[in-house]
Amino acid sequence: GGPPGMRCFIAVPVPPALAVTLGQQAVPDQGRRSAATDLHLTLAFLGERDPDWARRLWPALAGLAAATPAFNLTLTEIGPFPHREGRIWAARAEPAPPLMGLHRNLWRCLEESGVAGEERAFLPHVTLARLPGPTRAAPVPGPWHLPVTELVFQESPPDGGGYRTLKRWALQ
Ligand code: 2AM
């Protein structure tokens, strides 16, 4: 019984103009491209959660967004990525202090709500394609610039892709 859980995560969305630019970059053969409207940089993957539980996080997340100045982030290169056994083709973001600070403050909020910290290290990236296996394609040097102006709370449907934005907060 009980309401079904939803798979969800908190992310920085990629604005449409940059999504178009990133969508024009080549991905390795047989890569399954992410839809332009799905591009994001995940700050916190929450896994399966009850929608009511998620809603109770929202005031703290609104407070965090309102207290965080917007900033620009450099995407340094596009290439293979160590997560998921190298089966991800992603734009790598520099671990700049404003991003790492936002990530730390977000996790402070989440831990106060009882969310256990993540096992995998935070390697900031925007996934552009999923690959059937590791690739030998060489990385493509950037830079590209990601304006970090919003946080989004998104639901990831079980069949992958087509994320649904449940809530959106503007940074300061
Ligand atoms: P990925 O793109 O590197 O696979 C929706 O699936 C978002 O949550 C994606 O950004 C995905 O990262 C991320 N995600 C999925 N499972 C995760 C996990 N166990 N730990 C951290 N992030 C995860």
Residue 30 resides in a domain: yes
Indicate whether 25 belongs to any domain: yes
pLDDT in single tens digits along all 172 residues of the chain? 455 789 999 999 999 999 999 999 999 999 999 999 999 999 999 999 999 999 999 999 999 999 999 999 999 999 999 888 889 999 999 999 999 999 999 999 999 999 999 988 999 999 999 999 999 999 999 999 999 999 999 999 988 779 999 999 999 9
Interface confidence: ipTM more than 0.85: yes
pTM for this model (two decimals): 0.96
164 in a structural domain: yes
Question: Atom 20 (ligand 1): residue with closest C-alpha?
Answer: 45
Quick check: is 1 in a domain? no
DSSP string of 92-140, one letter each residue: EEP--HHHHHHHHHHHHHHHHTTPPPPSS----EEEEEE-SS---PPPE
How far does residue 39's CA lie from ligand 1's centre (Å)? 12
Has residue 73 been placed in a domain? yes
Structural domain containing residue 157: 6-170
pLDDT at 74: 98
Nearest to 154 by CA among 16, 34, 15, 43: 43
71 in any annotated domain? yes
Residue 88 CB–ligand 1 contact under 6 Å: yes
Judge contact between 155 and 7, C-beta under 8 A: yes
* Domain contains 60: yes
If one counts the domains in the chain, the total is 1
The 8-class DSSP code of residue 82 comes to S
The C-alpha atoms of residue 49 and residue 153 are separated, in whole angstroms, by 12
Ligand 1 in reach of 42 Cβ (< 6 A) = yes
What are the structure tokens assigned to 70, written together?
A: 């917007």
CATH number at residue 108: 3.90.1140.10
Residue 49's H or E segment, with its range, is: strand 40-49
What was the pLDDT predicted at 1? 45
Whether 9 is in the pocket of ligand 1, judged by its Cβ within 6 Å, is: yes
Q: Considering the domain boundaries, does residue 53 fall inside one? A: yes
